[in-house]
């Protein structure tokens, strides 16, 4: 069996940067909508692994259950790797390189020793945020389009 613990917490919204206030106040950042969306995605992943009615003639579709399970495990490792790369801790903190407030650029370094699939060495993460005056869907479509990656 599996136990899931969901905790309701309060937070000080005065510490939230202005560009994130709309997201936080909508409930998508910490609210029930976020939890339900996450649970929904997990159910879709499990349904994909267990599906046995995938057409075998589709080009580029992984048709075997083992292949789909392997692909989902790869995706899970990629998400965990990303989260460990951007998640700060007391041992690994973000350092501001330049700028202040919304214009700052931050970096974090950590040693990678026992990460499966990753050679040992130093992992460097860099982050910044900025405002783009277009709809989020348009930004997503731009980033998703292979032809626009060189722009």
Please give the residue range of the domain that contains residue 137.
91-151
Residue 64 lies inside a defined structural domain of this protein: no
Residue 131 lies inside a defined structural domain of this protein: yes
Count of the separate structural domains present in the chain: 1
Residue 148 lies inside a defined structural domain of this protein: yes
Is-contact 95 108, C-beta < 8 A? yes
With CA atoms as reference, report the closest residue to 92 among 114, 125, 119, 117: 125
Residue 104 lies inside a defined structural domain of this protein: yes
Residue 138 lies inside a defined structural domain of this protein: yes
**Pairing relation of β-strands 121-127 and 105-112?**
antiparallel
> What is the model's pLDDT at position 4?
65
> What is the model's pLDDT at position 54?
72
Residue 114 lies inside a defined structural domain of this protein: yes
pTM for this prediction: 0.52
Residue 134 lies inside a defined structural domain of this protein: yes
| pLDDT string in tens for the chain (151-residue length) | 566 666 666 666 677 777 777 777 776 677 777 778 888 888 888 887 777 777 666 667 777 778 888 888 888 888 877 777 777 677 777 788 877 766 788 888 888 777 777 788 888 888 888 778 888 888 888 888 888 877 7
Is-contact 29 20, C-beta < 8 A? yes
Plot region of 140 (φ>0 → left; ψ -120 to 50 → alpha; else → beta):
alpha
> What is the model's pLDDT at position 103?
72
């Amino acid at each position: 069996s599996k136990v899931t613990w969901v905790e309701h917490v309060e937070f000080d919204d005065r510490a939230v940067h202005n560009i994130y206030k709309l997201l936080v106040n909508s409930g998508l950042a910490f609210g029930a909508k976020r939890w339900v969306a996450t649970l929904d995605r997990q159910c879709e992943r499990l349904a994909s692994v267990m599906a046995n009615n995938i057409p075998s003639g589709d080009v580029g579709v992984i048709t075997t259950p083992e292949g789909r399970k392997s692909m989902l495990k790869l995706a899970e490792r990629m998400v965990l790797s990303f989260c460990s790369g951007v998640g700060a801790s007391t041992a690994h903190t973000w350092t501001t390189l330049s700028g202040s407030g919304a214009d700052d650029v931050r970096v974090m370094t950590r040693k990678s020793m026992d990460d499966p699939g990753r050679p040992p060495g130093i992992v460097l993460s860099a982050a910044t945020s900025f405002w783009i005056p277009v709809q989020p869907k348009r930004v997503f479509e731009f980033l998703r389009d292979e032809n626009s990656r060189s722009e």
